[in-house]
Amino acid sequence: MRDDLGTVFDLLEVNGVISAGFTAGGRWRTRFHPTVRLKLLAVARGSARVSADDRGESVVAGAGDVVVMNGCGSVLVEDARDGGGLQRSFVHPPGQAFYHAGCGEDVVVVGGHIDLADGTDALVAGLGGALLHLPAGRDTARLAGTLHHLVDEAMAERVASEPASRLHARLVILEVLRAMVEDGESVPVGWARGLLDDGIRPALRAMHDDPGRAWRLEELAHRSAMSRTAFAERFTALVGKPPLSYLTGWRMYVARRALRQSDAHIDELALQLGYSTAGAFSTAFRREVGESPRAYRSRHGSGPATARLTGSAGHRSR
């Protein structure tokens, strides 16, 4: 399981940004409007109530907890304590990394987002609903520890704190994604749900490791020790699309990544991903992405860096 997750995390180009934080005392509330798909809030001290899109759904996050917001348009964060008194509303000033609201430091919250490379949305679509609460505990001890170091760097303003904060932020994002995937109840559908299933996992692993192979439904079903019909039904129910449709989508994501990061010839890339000709590959790519591979590379390419086309084993397609 760990190797499987490592393969996908590597290809997803996990990148996180911790953008801001605040301390607050007394009764307080703040609202913001995320402009990215995956936003996160981590509570380093105290507790905070988080609700999304005025839909009545809310979670109370305590010290060490992380809340991931998936596709939310509006988020309200406020003190979680019971009692009366007027709440002080505040807006985090743009460009200010750490903001002190009200009197005291009853609560310390840091926020950030998960950067998604082009084409990644479909692969993360199944990671939880609007609000995913990751509570502190034994299984998230690494996350809590990393979060503590991140907040310490952000508040202390020590020498070289900026690069240190970036490193801790990347670790926070990785631990958040690990926790999201490893918590089966938080993953309703998608590749992560499939990796959690003992039956479907062998077929997913095979496609991830060797996307260029001409996989047949019978062969994938055999890998999962199921009949063709039972495999197709279970795979579709868990992953959200039929096996061969998922394979095409996976190939196109790998192709996008290679076109962004390498100078591989289109003909070579087509063969590595299981297409007999560059024309067949270009047709499939255009159908999935909406433009030709050459046009995509022209817009997104970043140079001749070597891109790994398969999973962690790194072996080529047969």
Sheet holding 28-32, edge to edge: 58-62, 47-52, 75-79, 28-32, 88-89
Q: Is residue 312 in some structural domain?
A: no
pTM of the model: 0.63
Q: How far apart are CA 280 and CA 291, in angstroms?
A: 14
Domain that holds residue 54: 13-186
Q: Please state, in angstroms and as integers, the Cα–Cα distance from residue 3 to each residue in 6, 46, 302, following that order.
A: 5, 36, 28
Provide the CATH number for the domain around residue 82.
Answer: 2.60.120.10
Q: Is residue 314 in some structural domain?
A: no
In which residue are the tokens 């299984």 written? 139
Q: Please state, in angstroms and as integers, the Cα–Cα distance from residue 27 to each residue in 22, 47, 98, 104, 123, following that order.
A: 14, 12, 19, 11, 39
Q: Judge contact between 2 and 174, C-beta under 8 A.
A: no
Let me know whether 136 and 264 are in one domain: no
Count CB neighbours of 74 within 10 A: 14
Let me know whether 148 and 262 are in one domain: no
**Confidence at residue 202, expressed as pLDDT on a 0 to 100 scale:** 92
Query: Lowest mean pLDDT: which of 13-22, 40-49, 84-93?
Result: 13-22
Let me know whether 201 and 153 are in one domain: no
Contacts 24+ apart (CB under 8 A), 151-160: 151/21, 151/44, 151/108, 151/110, 154/18, 154/21, 154/97, 154/98, 154/110, 155/21, 155/98, 155/108
Domain termination residue (choose one: 140, 160, 186): 186
Let me know whether 206 and 271 are in one domain: yes
Domain termination residue (choose one: 186, 212, 229): 186
Judged against a pLDDT cut of 80, whether residue 89 lies above it is answered with yes
Let me know whether 24 and 130 are in one domain: yes
Tally of domains within the chain: 2
Q: Judge contact between 288 and 248, C-beta under 8 A.
A: yes
Judged against a pLDDT cut of 70, whether residue 154 lies above it is answered with no
Q: Taking residues 172-178, what's their average pLDDT?
A: 66
Let me know whether 127 and 244 are in one domain: no
pLDDT tens readout for residues 177-188:
666 666 655 555
Q: Which residues contact 89 (CB under 8 A, 6 or more apart)?
A: 28, 29, 30, 31
Let me know whether 154 and 251 are in one domain: no
Q: How far apart are CA 179 and CA 217, in angstroms?
A: 31
Let me know whether 173 and 248 are in one domain: no
Let me know whether 205 and 67 are in one domain: no
Q: Is residue 118 in some structural domain?
A: yes
Query: Lowest mean pLDDT: which of 136-140, 199-203, 248-252, 305-309?
Result: 305-309
Let me know whether 21 and 119 are in one domain: yes
pLDDT tens readout for residues 251-282:
998 899 899 888 889 999 999 999 999 999 99
Q: Is residue 318 in some structural domain?
A: no
Let me know whether 171 and 203 are in one domain: no
Length of the chain: 318
Domain termination residue (choose one: 154, 186, 218): 186
Judged against a pLDDT cut of 50, whether residue 309 lies above it is answered with no
Judged against a pLDDT cut of 70, whether residue 147 lies above it is answered with no
Q: How far apart are CA 304 and CA 229, in angstroms?
A: 43
Q: Return the DSSP state at 160.
A: T
Let me know whether 18 and 90 are in one domain: yes
Mean pLDDT of the chain: 78
**Confidence at residue 270, expressed as pLDDT on a 0 to 100 scale:** 95
Judged against a pLDDT cut of 90, whether residue 145 lies above it is answered with no
**Confidence at residue 124, expressed as pLDDT on a 0 to 100 scale:** 58
Q: How far apart are CA 248 and CA 212, in angstroms?
A: 10
Q: Is residue 313 in some structural domain?
A: no
Q: Is residue 207 in some structural domain?
A: yes
Q: Which residues contact 259 (CB under 8 A, 6 or more apart)?
A: 269, 293, 296, 297, 300, 301
Q: How far apart are CA 37 and CA 73, in angstroms?
A: 9
Judged against a pLDDT cut of 80, whether residue 238 lies above it is answered with yes
Judged against a pLDDT cut of 60, whether residue 310 lies above it is answered with no
Most confident of 51-60, 139-148, 289-298: 289-298
Q: Is residue 8 in some structural domain?
A: no
Q: Is residue 206 in some structural domain?
A: yes
Most confident of 99-113, 141-155, 232-246: 232-246
**Confidence at residue 80, expressed as pLDDT on a 0 to 100 scale:** 87
Q: Taking residues 33-62, what's their average pLDDT?
A: 85
Q: Please state, in angstroms and as integers, the Cα–Cα distance from residue 8 to each residue in 25, 52, 175, 181, following that order.
A: 41, 29, 14, 11
pLDDT tens readout for residues 291-306:
999 999 998 876 443 3
